[in-house]
């Protein structure tokens, strides 16, 4: 008997890598505010929403900003980020990821559960716009990971209970969201070192040993 009936994937850091583009866009903003933002600090922003990321960056300085100022800064960062995302193409999906997705699609309904409001744009850039059975993203939720809302909505969209779905995540916030929502999880990348993840995988095709 199989253990899971569906798989929910995080997008950034699992299906493709957008870390460097997030970094470059935040770096431009941080430099304009003379804040000491670097790649190591950028790692803290993984899985965290845009506004929460901005707050973490602004915490590097003393100055307080109004909500309007913060909205304008987040918009500016996103404009830069979207310009950088234009460079993405199907070549940004590795052979390992693509072959694993194709193999799993033959057996399971598959969903995306991402905090990013740019999810659909990224999926279209990398040639996977119509691939998944459900896509729940930052536009569909009121609370970002580590809140489980995005994964609960993804399970619901697939008509599955959390206990029947495996969540695949690269961020600590995402593994916490999975645990809080009652999902088993497979941690990849940074999240492969987290004890709270049910499985620890080195590359996406390792899922084929679990599923």
Q: Report in angstroms how near the CB of residue 107 gets to ligand BG6 at its nearest.
A: 26
Contact positions with Mg ion (CB under 5 A) in 2-41: 10, 12-13
Cis peptide before 47 (omega within 30 of 0): no
| Side-chain-side CA neighbours of residue 38 (13 Å) | 2
Q: What DSSP string describes 145-178?
A: TTSTHHHHHHHHHTT--GGGEEEEESSHHHHHHH
Select the span of 31-39, 61-69, 110-118, 193-201 touching ligand BG6 (CB under 6 A). 110-118
Minimum CB distance to ligand BG6 smaller for 124 or for 208: 124
Minimum CB distance to ligand BG6 smaller for 5 or for 33: 33
Report, in this order, helix, strand and coil percent for the chain, each rounded to 5.
50, 10, 40
Q: How far apart are CA 183 and CA 167, in angstroms?
A: 7
184 binds Mg ion (CB under 5 A): no
Contact positions with Mg ion (CB under 5 A) in 125-164: none
Radius of gyration over every alpha carbon of the chain, rounded to an integer in angstroms: 17
Minimum CB distance to ligand BG6 smaller for 15 or for 104: 15
Chain residue whose CB lies nearest Mg ion: 13
**Contacting residues toward Mg ion, per CB under 5 A:** 10, 12-13, 170-171
């Amino acid at each position: 008997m199989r253990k899971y009936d569906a798989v929910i994937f995080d997008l950034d850091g699992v299906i493709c890598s957008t870390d460097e583009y997030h970094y470059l866009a935040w770096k431009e903003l941080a430099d304009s505010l003379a804040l000491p933002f670097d790649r190591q600090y950028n790692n803290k922003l993984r899985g965290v929403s845009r506004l929460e990321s901005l707050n973490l960056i602004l915490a590097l300085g003393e100055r307080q900003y109004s909500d309007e100022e913060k909205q304008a800064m987040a918009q500016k960062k996103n404009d830069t980020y979207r310009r950088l995302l234009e460079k993405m193409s199907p070549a940004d999906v590795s052979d390992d990821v693509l072959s694993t997705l194709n193999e799993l699609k033959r057996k399971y309904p598959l969903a995306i559960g991402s905090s990013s409001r740019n999810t659909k744009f990224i999926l279209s850039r990398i040639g996977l716009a119509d691939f998944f059975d459900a896509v729940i993203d930052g536009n569909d939720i009121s609370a970002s990971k580590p809140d489980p809302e995005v994964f609960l909505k993804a399970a619901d969209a697939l008509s599955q209970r959390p206990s029947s779905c495996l969540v695949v995540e690269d961020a600590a916030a995402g593994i916490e969201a999975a645990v809080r929502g009652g999902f088993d999880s497979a941690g990849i990348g940074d999240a492969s070192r987290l004890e709270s993840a049910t499985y620890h995988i080195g590359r996406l095709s390792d899922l084929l040993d679990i599923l």
